[in-house]
Structure 1
Amino acid sequence: MFPRDFAWGAGTAAYQIEGGWQADGKGPSIWDTFCHESGNVFGEQNGDVAGNSYELWEKDLECIQLLGLTHYRLSLSWARLLPDGTTRHVNQKGVQYYNKVIDDLLACNVSPTVTLYHFDLPQALQDQGGWKSPGIAALFDNYAKFCFQTFGDRVKLWITINEPHVCAKLGHEDGLHAPGLKEKGTAAYLVGHNMLRAHATAWHSYSSVYRPEQKGAVSLALNSDWLEPSQQGCKEDVAATERDLAFTLGWFAWPVFVTGDYPEIMRSAIDAQSRKLGHSGASRLPRFSNDDPTILGTADFFALNYYTSRKVKSGGGCGQTLCMKSDRDAEEVLDSSWPICGASWLAVAPDGLRKLLKYIKDTFKNPAVYVTENGFSQVGLLQIEDVQRCEFYKETIMEMATAIQEDGVDVRGYFAWSLMDNFEWADGYSVRFGLFHVDFSDSKRSRTIYRSGREYARIISKYKSGQSK
């Protein structure tokens, strides 16, 4: 049901698991700053220690081996490698840490999939304007080239930026993520624009300088729910769904995979709302200039983070306020048949993954796809025997197999989120996604496999051995 070289993985991110926030010369990131300000995170929690993977990497490696993973997705902490965000000062302790992680993985026949940026911008660069500054693209490119030069001889799958949509909207429109800005209707579009410029610049650097020898592949990880009209026969709902998809997946996928520019439906909606509210001047959605790198074609595969689905109705804007919600003019609702797992936003809809994969094939020129995140959360009472999550993984992987076999989608790999319970951003430690439970009350941060971890290991073993049932 899956190719023999299919990538079976799990993922983590540096700030969510490493801890060691001041250890061995690491500089502060925007998430260090955000968490240390009161009122931003559930229970005033932070990632200062988290799972303490900086000191307990060998324990993580044992978990990876127990699952039988072929691939492990990790992110590099920009501030651990380059404390001020620039190559003027390289933190060799950080380099040594990631060299050990990568070398240990390869020694266990596990391929590292490395994300350069997973939400944790060095605070020194935020102080200079962060992702709102046009100069951030060159700074990111320098960081990326440093990583390609330092680790690229052993890394074959690279992701430049994880979920630019989340970084832009939650961090700069809604203020729910670091750096906590609420500049509605403007900053998120600018941030997304600069992230695309940064990604494309780094992709071109890899392609021209490093690819001939290293022979790796580079993309960016895009998150998207599956969206479908609340009423299939309602023209307004159908149009709202198209608009919603353009403002989420299309925002970044359209420039990279289709035209080199934003979806016209997105720009038209933003400009129409600007006219309606009397916003004068240039479009709030920036335009690429001749000085920018070519955006089209800057992905060697499609990296998809999928968690849930929504039905879409027309409307749902925020009145006369300039904001992304008004620009989008679409309301997302839950289907009552979808169970909710843990986090209130996470409706369980495994078939949405198959539908989204088919949409990606049809819309974005049938790319090779890696599902780089997908998971099921727990909140409240701890359940090591997490039967529901076991069923979720079985159903989701079957839907992915159907997408490959019946829809002809070129899916190359699947990464469960996440290897272990971790710091889940604004939710702190109240939400658990791990295949391994981490006891955050224990100074040793003990790891215990969930039943779902055993189930995922069984699935991996079955398909790695070539069984079809």
Structure 2
Amino acid sequence: MDQFTIFGCFIFILRSCSGTQLEEDYLKFPPGFSIGSASSAYQVEGAWNVSGKTPSVWDWFTHKKDSTVMDQATGDIACDSYHKYKEDIAMMKDIGFRHYRFSLSWTRILPTGFPDKISQEGLQYYKDLIDEVRRQGMEPFVTIYHWDHPEFMNRLGSWTNELMVEYYAEYARIVFRELGSRVKVWATLNEPEQNCRLGFAKDVHAPGINLPYFGEYLCLHNYLKAHARAYQIYNEEFRAEQGGQVGIVHLCEHFFPQPSHDLETSRIGFECGCGWATHPIFSKEGNYPQVMRERVNGNSKLEGLPFSRLPKFSPDWIKRIRGSSDFLGINVYTAREVRAMPREKNGIWPNDFGTELIINETWPVNTAWLRVIPQALGEILRRIRDVYDNPPVYIMENGATSAKGVNDYNRIEYLHDYMKEMLLAINRDGCNVKGYTIWSFLDSFEWSEGYTDLFGLVEVDFTDPNRKRTPRLSTKWLKKIMQKGRLINIKDLGQLN
């Protein structure tokens, strides 16, 4: 072997070692990075008519005789976390979580929906919950609204009615006033785009207002105004004293283009998906994405309508909404493919955006709607970095279902692979991600799927009146990760159980 060959081998070894070390560094969690898990009020609390609580829109929706929820399930008892929250929080502490994300029930705090009657018992429950989270060394990440407004507001049109903006703003003011000294991270609203699509363009979710291309646009329009009002209230009345952060949580998916070189269609998919609710707040110009406005406005005109189905923000509302978040919360689970659709003969797009969303049948299946595509998370984070000038991001939901029982190896693999993509985006690509939240801590009521989708790190026996909890294998894996401060492959851990 000549000296040049030896030198070449030496360089190859150095590069290999350097690459291994670099990979190892990439998989460390940054200093101060927060990992936690999540729930929402209707999905876990139960106690649906306790503490003066009045019916929410989801109480009404699940109690209907013609309920479309799987197995006619309700959240009447759910996980009974209203009574068992101390047990849940103790398990979170044992795992080593640094935060717990949960939501408030509007009607538990304001039984009439308005500040004329405040339930002190309902407020005390949340004060006790928050204090217990903090006592166990975690931060409460509190979502003010996770889809469960007072039922009577449904009869006023729910989020298609602009009155909801001020109804919600007054509720948020009470929450800030009563709980703000205990909370440093607030999310105003959860997944407005998902709620508006499934509850206002379809009848899959409450309130079941099936008005496609009208209801969903009106719904999200008012959601964004309500968020901006809450942010304004916090800034003007509470921020100086309480010093917290206020953001919003959006559902984001990545759209892989078909064919693969059609990056423009992938961009349109993002802007009309995640960007629908994100662009008005986080872009420099505000308002809905231009391509979305052009296509909806164009379709509306060609249909002969005297106005666009997409509502128009006034210059004042554009200004008030733009910049109205201290962070961007995102929920990421899966991905889809997207391809361009040609216009019809009359010039109309077959749908408002001129794109077709496709589930790739070769992708690994977790549940009916969730295909396992870890690289989608990295793609979303890099796109947010580039399009919205790298704002602080909290991943507020990411998770997968498992079968009954505690050996949830598929969940460990899912979380490992998605977290790896997140860490590469942070440590290699400079994405400004501050925290990661697993959906969900407990098996819970999963909306239209009832109790058939088991997302919990902890198994709940819904046939047991005491709702027995059993930690799954993934909790042991997560505990090791938290202890070591870096991502660990399950193959390196031996037999966890």
Shorter-chain TM-score: which interval? over 0.9
Displacement, 1:337?
4.5
Give the match for residue 359 of structure 1: 383
The residue type equivalent to 1:413 in the other structure is G
C-alpha contact 1:318 1:326 (8 A) present in aligned 2: no
User: Could you say what secondary structure the match of 2:422 adopts?
Assistant: helix
Offset of 1:291 from its aligned partner?
Answer: 5.6
Deviation (angstroms), 1:103:
0.4
Cα displacement (A) at 1:127: 2.5
Structure 1 109/172 Cα, relative in aligned 2: closer, same or farther at 3 Å?
same
How far apart are residue 383 of structure 1 and its match?
3.6
Change (3 A) 1:34 1:98: same
Match of 1:115 in 2: 143
SS of 1:115 mapped into structure 2 = strand
CA shift for structure 1 position 375: 0.3
Offset from partner CA, 1:214-248 (integer Å, 9 cap, x none): 111111101011112121234xxx44322221221
Alignment match, 1:303: 329
Q: 1:171 aligns with which of 180, 196, 199?
A: 199
Deviation at 1:155, TM superposition (A): 0.5
Q: How do residues 91-130 of structure 1 correspond to structure 2 at under 5 angstroms?
A: 91-130=119-158
Q: How does 1:289-328 map to 2 (within 5 A)?
A: 289-290=314-315, 292=317, 294-315=320-341, 326-328=351-353
Rounded to whole Å, the distance in 2 between the matches of 1:316 and 1:423 is 40
Of 369, 372, 381, which residue of structure 2 is paired with 1:348?
372
Asked whether 1:425 is paired with 2:447, we answer yes
Using the TM superposition, give the Cα deviation of residue 325 of structure 1 relative to its aligned residue in structure 2, in angstroms.
7.5
Q: Which residue of 1 aligns with 2:417?
A: 395
Tell me if structure 2 keeps the 8 A contact 1:41–1:426: yes
The answer as to whether partners of 2:327 and 2:391 remain within 8 angstroms in 1 is yes
The alignment of Structure 1 onto Structure 2 pairs a total of residues equal to 458
Aligned to 2:456: 434
Q: Report Cα offsets for 1:388-422 as digits up to 9, x if no partner.
A: 11111111111111001111001100000000100
Take 1:34 and 1:239, find their aligned partners in 2: how far apart are those partners? Answer: 40
Partner of 2:471: 449
Specify the code of the residue in structure 2 equivalent to 1:2: F
Q: 1:131 to 1:316 in 2, by over 3 A?
A: farther
CA deviation profile, 1:110-131 (whole Å, cap 9, x unmatched): 1000000101111122233321
Helix, strand or coil: the match of 2:385? helix
Q: Of 423, 429, 445, which residue of structure 2 is paired with 1:407? A: 429
Q: Which structure has the greater CA radius of gyration?
A: 2
Matches within 5 A, 1:137-152: 137-152=165-180
SS of the residue corresponding to residue 338 of structure 2 reads strand
What amino acid does structure 2 have at the position aligned with 1:308? T
1-structure distance, mates of 2:135, 2:193:
35
Q: How does 1:243-282 map to 2 (within 5 A)?
A: 243-258=268-283, 259-278=285-304, 280-282=305-307
What SS does structure 2 have at the residue aligned with 1:72? strand
CA distance in 2, matches of 1:267, 1:346: 29
> In the alignment, is the contact (CA less than 8 A) between 2:441 and 2:456 conserved in 1?
yes
In structure 1, what is the equivalent of residue 309 of structure 2? 284
SS across alignment from 1:25:
coil
Q: Deviations over 1:6-49 (max 9, x none)?
A: 11110000000001111121011110111111231001111111
Letter in structure 2 aligned against 1:261: N
Matching residue's letter, 2:477: E
Q: Give the gaps of 5 or more residues in structure 1.
A: none
Residues 455 and 325 of structure 1, relative CA distance in 2, 3 Å threshold: farther
Amino acid at match of 1:375: G
Over the aligned positions, Cα root-mean-square deviation in angstroms equals 2.1
Q: Give the secondary-structure state (helix, strand or coil) at the position aligned to 1:171.
A: helix
Aligned to 1:368: 392
Alignment match, 1:2: 29
Please tell me whether the aligned partners of residues 301 and 307 of structure 2 are also in contact (alpha carbons under 8 angstroms): no
TM-score using structure 2 length: 0.89
Which ranges in structure 2 are unaligned for 5 or more consecutive residues?
Answer: 1-27, 493-497
CA separation in 2, counterparts of 1:402 and 1:176?
36
The C-alpha deviation readout for 1:415-434, integer Å capped at 9, x for no partner, is 00000100000000000100
Change (3 A) 1:414 1:317: farther
Within 1, Cα distance between the matches of 2:371 and 2:106?
33
Q: Alpha-carbon deviations, 1:272-291, whole Å to 9, x = none?
A: 2223322x122111111256
Any idea what the Cα deviations from partners look like across 1:284-318, whole Å, max 9, x if unmatched? 11111256461110010111100001111123999
The answer to whether the 8 Å contact 2:74/2:445 transfers is yes
Q: Work out whether 1:18 is the aligned partner of 2:40.
A: no
The SS at the match of 2:379 is helix
Q: 1:316·1:331 contact (CA, 8 Å) conserved in 2?
A: no
**Runs of 4 or more off by more than 6 Å in structure 1?**
316-320
Work out the CA distance in 2 between the residues paired with 1:59 and 1:319. Answer: 62
Residue 16 (structure 2) aligns with: none
Instruction: Name which of 163, 186, 195 aligns with 2:214.
Output: 186
Q: Distance in 2 between matches of 1:192 and 1:317?
A: 26
Inter-CA distance 291–405: structure 2 relative to 1 (3 Å threshold): closer
**2:46–2:81 contact (8 Å) kept in structure 1:** yes
